[in-house]
C-alpha cells in the first residue's frame, strides 16, 4: 500500500511592503519540497490593525482546512511582528533570524523601521530603471538602429528566442541599456553581420534555442505557417549559430532558462556594470 500524499497547506507571505521579498524567499525554500501548496500574499501589513485582519484570515484558513498554515514574514516593525506570531500558524521570520547576528557582525544597530524592501525604491534608481526601460522599448525588435552607441548590449537572435523579455528585464532589474535586433532571413542567408551592426560587434550578445522548442513557440503565434515549421526553425537556428561562431559573438541557449537566468547570464558574461545597486 502506498502512503497517502501529504495534505495541502496554505502558505501566507506576509509583508509590510509589497510582499515580493517574502514571496521570493519563501518560494525558493518551497521548491525544495515535492509538495503542493496554496499560496496567499498579504502585502502592506504595516500597522497593528492590518496585522489583526491578517491573523483573522490566517486563523480562519487554519480552522477550515484543519491544517496549520505557514507564515513567511518579512515584517520589520516589532509590534506588528509580535502580533503576527500569535496567529495559529508556523511562523518563519526572515527579519528576526538575521538582523541580530548582522548587527553584531557590523557593530551597528539596525533601524527596525520599514525601509525599501527590495532596494529599488528610491528616486534615483526609479529614474535609472525607467530610462533603461524606455531605451529597451524604443530599441525593441530592431525598430530603430540609431543610438546603438548608447546601448550597453545589443541582443541578437532569430524571431522568438526571448530577445524582448530579456532586454526589458535587463532594464528593469539592472538598469542596463539593452537594444535587440532580430536576425532576418536575409541576414542569415548572407552569413554575415548587417553592415550597421559591425561597428557595435563588441556589444552583441546572441540568443539561441532548440529548434523544437522554437517551433512550439512560433506555432502559437502563426500556426501551421512556414515560419513555424520545424524545418524553417532548424535552418534559421543553424545559420544563426554559425554566424555567432564566425563573428565570435558570445551566446546563450535559452531553451530551459527563465527570463531571469538569461538576463543574469548576459550580465555575467559581458561583465557589464549594473546601475541598480
Residues in region 234-263 near a second copy by CB under 8 A: 257-261, 263
Number of residues that bind a second copy (CB under 8 A): 77
Chain residues 169-208 in contact with a second copy, contact rule CB under 8 A: 169, 172-173
Interface residue with a second copy among 63, 88, 97, 138 (CB under 8 A) is 97
Q: What are all long-range contacts of 23-28, with beta carbons under 8 Å and residues at least 24 apart?
A: 23/72, 25/72, 25/74, 25/94, 26/72, 26/92
Chain residues 218-237 in contact with a second copy, contact rule CB under 8 A: 220
Q: How far is the CB of 239 from a second copy (least distance, A)?
A: 24
**Residue 25 touches a second copy, criterion: CB under 8 A:** yes
Which residue, 44 or 196, is less far from a second copy as judged by CB?
A: 44
**Residue 31 touches a second copy, criterion: CB under 8 A:** yes
Interface residue with a second copy among 29, 189, 238, 242 (CB under 8 A) is 29
Where do we find the cell 542596463?
Answer: 176
Nearest Cα residue to 58 out of 102, 10, 17: 10
Show the binding pattern over residues 153-172: x = contacts a second copy (CB under 8 A), - = does not: ---------x-xx--xx--x
Which residue, 125 or 145, is less far from a second copy as judged by CB?
A: 125
Chain residues 57-96 in contact with a second copy, contact rule CB under 8 A: 68, 70, 74, 76, 90, 92, 94-95
Interface residue with a second copy among 47, 98, 147, 222 (CB under 8 A) is 98
| d(C-alpha 251, C-alpha 162), whole Å | 13
Tell me phi and psi for residue 33, to 5 degrees: -115, 135
Show the binding pattern over residues 39-58: x = contacts a second copy (CB under 8 A), - = does not: x---xx--------------
Chain residues 109-128 in contact with a second copy, contact rule CB under 8 A: 110-113, 115-121, 125-127
**Residue 100 touches a second copy, criterion: CB under 8 A:** no
Interface residue with a second copy among 2, 3, 4, 34 (CB under 8 A) is 34
**Residue 130 touches a second copy, criterion: CB under 8 A:** yes
Q: How far is the CB of 189 from a second copy (least distance, A)?
A: 27
Nearest Cα residue to 148 out of 208, 193, 190: 193
Interface residue with a second copy among 27, 65, 229, 253 (CB under 8 A) is 27
Amino acid at each position: 500500500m502506498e502512503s497517502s500524499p501529504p495534505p495541502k497547506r496554505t502558505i501566507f507571505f506576509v509583508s509590510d511592503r509589497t510582499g515580493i521579498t517574502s514571496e521570493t524567499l519563501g518560494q525558493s525554500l518551497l521548491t525544495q519540497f515535492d509538495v503542493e501548496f496554496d499560496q496567499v500574499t498579504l502585502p502592506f501589513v504595516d500597522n497593528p490593525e492590518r496585522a489583526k485582519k491578517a491573523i483573522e484570515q490566517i486563523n480562519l484558513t487554519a480552522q477550515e482546512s484543519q491544517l496549520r498554515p505557514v507564515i513567511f514574514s518579512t515584517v520589520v516593525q516589532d509590534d506588528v511582528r509580535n502580533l503576527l506570531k500569535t496567529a495559529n500558524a508556523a511562523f518563519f521570520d526572515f527579519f528576526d533570524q538575521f538582523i541580530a547576528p548582522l548587527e553584531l557582525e557590523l557593530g551597528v544597530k539596525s533601524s527596525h523601521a520599514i525601509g525599501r524592501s527590495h532596494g529599488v525604491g528610491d528616486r534615483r534608481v526609479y529614474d535609472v530603471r525607467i530610462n533603461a526601460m524606455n531605451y529597451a522599448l524604443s530599441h525593441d525588435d530592431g525598430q530603430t538602429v540609431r543610438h546603438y552607441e548608447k546601448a550597453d548590449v545589443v541582443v541578437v537572435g532569430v524571431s522568438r528566442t526571448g530577445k524582448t523579455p530579456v532586454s526589458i528585464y535587463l532594464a528593469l532589474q539592472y538598469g542596463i541599456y539593452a537594444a535587440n535586433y532580430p536576425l532576418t532571413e536575409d541576414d542569415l542567408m548572407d552569413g554575415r553581420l548587417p553592415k550597421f551592426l559591425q561597428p557595435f560587434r563588441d556589444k552583441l550578445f546572441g540568443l539561441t534555442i532548440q529548434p523544437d522548442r522554437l517551433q512550439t513557440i512560433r506555432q502559437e503565434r502563426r500556426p501551421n505557417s512556414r515560419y513555424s515549421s520545424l524545418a524553417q526553425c532548424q535552418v534559421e537556428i543553424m545559420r544563426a549559430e554559425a554566424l555567432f561562431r564566425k563573428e565570435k559573438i558570445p551566446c546563450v541557449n535559452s531553451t530551459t532558462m527563465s527570463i531571469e537566468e538569461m538576463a543574469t547570464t548576459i550580465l555575467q558574461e559581458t561583465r557589464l556594470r549594473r546601475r541598480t545597486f
